Amino acid sequence: MLNLDWDFFSWQLVTDYLLKGLAFSLQLTVVAMLGGIFFGTLLALMRLSGRKWLEWPATFYVNAMRAIPLVMVILWFFLLMPYLLGRPIGAEASAVITFIAFEAAYYAEIMRAGIQSIPRGQIFAGQALGLTYAQNMRLVILPQAFRNMLPVLLTQTIILFQDTSLVYAIGAYDLFKGFNVAGRNFGRPIESTLLAVVVYFLISFSLSTLVKRLQARIAIIR
């Protein structure tokens, strides 16, 4: 600890190396969360539809994605898609597409559990009022499912933010790469890695605390 260069921790480090990476990490988290929830909800509805031609493909997709490490999916997409499309794909675009596709499988399971947590009596009540399956889901079931699953959805989003550091493997300039580049340029890789650990911990811990407070508030309202 006595050999650490504490002058490395400076405002210049933040402005020159970290802000760009932090901005991309946050953007990737938000876009992947929104896209993942949207497509995850569609996958969950397909699995609960009772129609085999919808249920089986969705089940296969969810199980396959959840069985493959995210870093492998990122590398496969980044390396193979240029051959299939006949043109290169940027690291940032590859990261966005890959994260949405991957996170959709996890959000699908969360949404499926949320939908199944709603009493079936409410589904029957909607049908008795003449609502179609789509109207019943959109107006009655999904709003309650989202409310029930909100803490879990946000927890998965925190995990998603942590996973954004994996895009470093394809050269995307995220927060972790900002630390890595700064460590190389200043010749202080140990200090940069330690600071990266602290920053990721503070962000994740702060968000986890907010999720716990939200969960407690929802429980009180109930």
- Enumerate the domain spans of the chain: 23-171
Give the C-alpha separation, 23 to 166, whole Å.
15
pLDDT at 218 over 80: no
Tell me the chain's radius of gyration from C-alpha atoms.
Answer: 21
The predicted model gives 62-89 an average pLDDT of 90
Query: Does position 58 have pLDDT exceeding 90, yes or no?
Result: yes
What homologous superfamily does CATH list for 23-171? Answer: MetI-like (1.10.3720.10)
Which residues have CB under 8 Å from 204's CB, separation 6+? 158, 161, 162
Cα 21 to its chain centre, rounded Å, is 17
Structure tokens at 25: 């990490």
Mean pLDDT of the chain: 88
How much is the average pLDDT of 90-101? 94
Once rounded to an integer, what is the mean pLDDT over residues 67-89? 89
To the question of pTM greater than 0.85 for the whole model, the response is yes
Q: What mean pLDDT is predicted for residues 181-193?
A: 85
Q: Where are the alpha helices (DSSP H) in the chain?
A: 11-13, 19-47, 52-66, 70-85, 91-116, 120-128, 133-136, 142-163, 175-186, 189-221
pLDDT of residue 68: 94
Tell me how far apart the alpha carbons of residues 113 and 222 are, in angstroms, rounded to a whole number.
Answer: 19
Q: Band the pLDDT of 5: cuts 50, 70, 90.
A: low
